[in-house]
Amino acid sequence: MTTSQKLDAGQEIDSQCLKCKDVTNHTIIAMADGEIAKCECNVCGAKHKYRPPKIAKPKAVKKKAAAPKTPKKTMSQKKAETHFEGIMEGLDISTAKPYSMEEMFKVDELIDHHTFGLGLITSTIQPNKIEVTFNTGSKLLICKLKNPFKR
């Protein structure tokens, strides 16, 4: 360390503290050949060799940001979309029923889910679940319990 003032044990300096993970005020506790050998952090009390504060490097001029890349679809995502398009062909999407866990649904009914979007009920799983095919694949959803005593 080269400074205009003479340093001695007991003086305060700034040093990089690994325990605090920051540049903090330290007290010199040992000198060797005119150089700081050890110092003590005045914040956490850790004793360690002197680490000069890191000088912040000037930030490089950022290049103009490129347009965000759209993630590539996997083969299974492409298959799901193709399958969905095939089963939706010829169906009237205006008949889609809003999805609610409090509703009962039937196979081949269209639903509109608030997260997954438009879907087709492909099977019912007793007593209170339906399998729905969406553009992103099949999902198992909860629905109103069907009364097993009602005929």
* Structure confidence by residue, pLDDT tens digits, 19-78: 888 888 999 998 888 888 899 999 899 999 888 887 766 666 666 666 777 777 777 788
Position 20 scores a pLDDT of: 85
Instruction: Give the span between the Cα atoms of 26 and 39, in whole angstroms.
Output: 6
Question: Does 138 lie in the same domain as 90?
Answer: yes
| Domain match, 82 and 125 both | yes
> What digits encode the pLDDT tens for the residues 54-65?
776 666 666 666
Give the per-residue pLDDT at 72: 75
Which pTM value belongs to this model? 0.48
Handedness of CA 48, 51, 52, 56 (dihedral sign): negative
Residue 7 lies in a domain: no
Cβ atoms of 34 and 1 closer than 8 Å = no
Instruction: Please check whether residues 95 and 135 belong to one and the same domain.
Output: yes
Q: Is residue 62 part of a domain?
A: no
pLDDT digits (tens, 9 = 90+) for 96-119: 999 999 998 889 999 999 999 999
| Shared-domain flag, residues 35 and 81 | no
SS3 80: helix
Token pair for 43? 């914040």
Judge whether 149 lies within some domain: no
Domain membership of residue 102 (yes or no) is yes
Position 98 in a domain? yes
Structural domain of residue 120, as residue ranges? 75-142
What pLDDT score does 1 carry? 47
Assigned domain for 56 exists: no
The reported pLDDT for the residue numbered 147 is 62
User: Residue 67 falls within a domain, yes or no?
Assistant: no
CA nearest neighbour of 143 among 104, 106, 114, 109: 104
Residue with tokens 């000198």: 31
In total, how many domains does the chain have? 2
